[in-house]
Amino acid sequence: MGRIDAGVDGMSGDVDDTAAICRLKARYFRTMDTKDWDGMRAVFTDDVVMDLTEAGGGVMAGADAFLAFLEETLDGAVTVHHGHMPEIELTSDVTATGIWALNDVVIWPNGMRLDGYGHYHETYEKTAEGWRISSSKLTRLHADLRVPEAP
């Protein structure tokens, strides 16, 4: 496909690139929930910056550091991530920004459960291998944390 005219407002966007970024984010969610860490590594630039401050995770620089954090934090947990309503803006031929509405559920082996609601605010870079996430900030609108009662 190529560039198309969006019509009334005269803005143009590349449908192929926008669709590729949406598939990239879908792959992020799927590989996290299936704990496919090698597959997940491929969605990031090497120097990705992940800001999970609002979720209690702090800021991590580098894909390998982020994956190590996830492997430790989610060890044995069941996770379900749903991203909705992507707002993708191509800022150049090789960069883009995006905002995704998020609903996530994390259930740890001890029975503790998190139901979270918020947004991912991201930047993307187009590399020789395709689009990659170059930064991501998770913002929370609400989170329900349920701790199991002691026996």
Give per-residue pLDDT as tens, 123-147.
Answer: 999 999 999 999 999 999 999 999 9
Quick check: 1 pLDDT over 50? Answer: no
CA 47, 80, 19, 121 torsion-angle sign:
negative
Residue-wise pLDDT for 54-81, tens only, equals: 988 899 999 999 999 999 999 999 999 9
> Which domains are delineated in the chain?
10-146 (3.10.450.50)
**Residue 98: per-residue pLDDT:** 98
Within a 10 A sphere around the Cβ of 98, how many other Cβ atoms? 23
The encoded tokens of residue 72 equal: 């430790």
Token pair 């995006």: residue? 98
Three-state SS for 10?
coil
Provide the pLDDT confidence category of residue 7 given band limits of 50, 70 and 90: very low
Please state the pTM of the whole predicted model. Answer: 0.88
Span 108-124, average pLDDT: 98
Contacts of 22 (CB under 8 A, 6+ apart): 86, 88
**Residue 14: per-residue pLDDT:** 83
Quick check: 5 pLDDT over 80? Answer: no
